[in-house]
Structure 1
């Protein structure tokens, strides 16, 4: 199994919405991918209640069957549409992928 964790720091305003509204929209779009992409076992997104200095607004916790499934997720059209929305709102990003037993 592969865990894919991403955190985003958002712009104050983007997509005609404020930071919090974009965070909630991102959460909804990411969680909307559940059950729609082969090899994606679990997907959950969280929105920070408050963002401290150096903190992040949104976190994605997802699990895949293997690294190949993660690679296919990255280029899946449904994921690409969500990614395109996130890119317009994001000011920064951190990611880690790792295999578990």
Structure 2
């Protein structure tokens, strides 16, 4: 099993949308990927108001193996999410490990 954790900090405004609007867009784009083959766990979390968080979005996912993670990375629906996130994010942090 491969655990794939990614966090994003979004720009205040991007693509003609506010940060709040882009948070919803990013959430929906990522959640569209949740049923791709090889995923055993997939959760997208948006930072809560009035709680401490250095980042705005957390993707916590688990894949059956490295091949499943690699296939996810190039899946067309994930490419759509990556394109959107690339335009609206300020920072990205990723941490993959064998579980």
Which residue of 1 is the match for residue 98 of structure 2? 99
Q: Note the residue ranges of structure 2 that are not aligned, 5 or more in a row.
A: none
Contact 1:51 1:57 in 2 (8 A): no
Contact 2:29 2:80 in 1 (8 A): no
Moved beyond 4 Å, runs of 4+:
51-54
Q: Note the residue ranges of structure 1 that are not aligned, 5 or more in a row.
A: none
Distance of 2:50 and 2:18 partners within structure 1: 14
Distance change >3 Å, CA 78–CA 61, structure 1 → 2: same
* TM-score normalized by the length of structure 2: 0.90
The Cα RMSD (Å) is: 1.8
Distance of 2:65 and 2:50 partners within structure 1: 32
Q: How many residues align?
A: 99
- Aligned to 2:37, the other structure's residue is in SS state coil
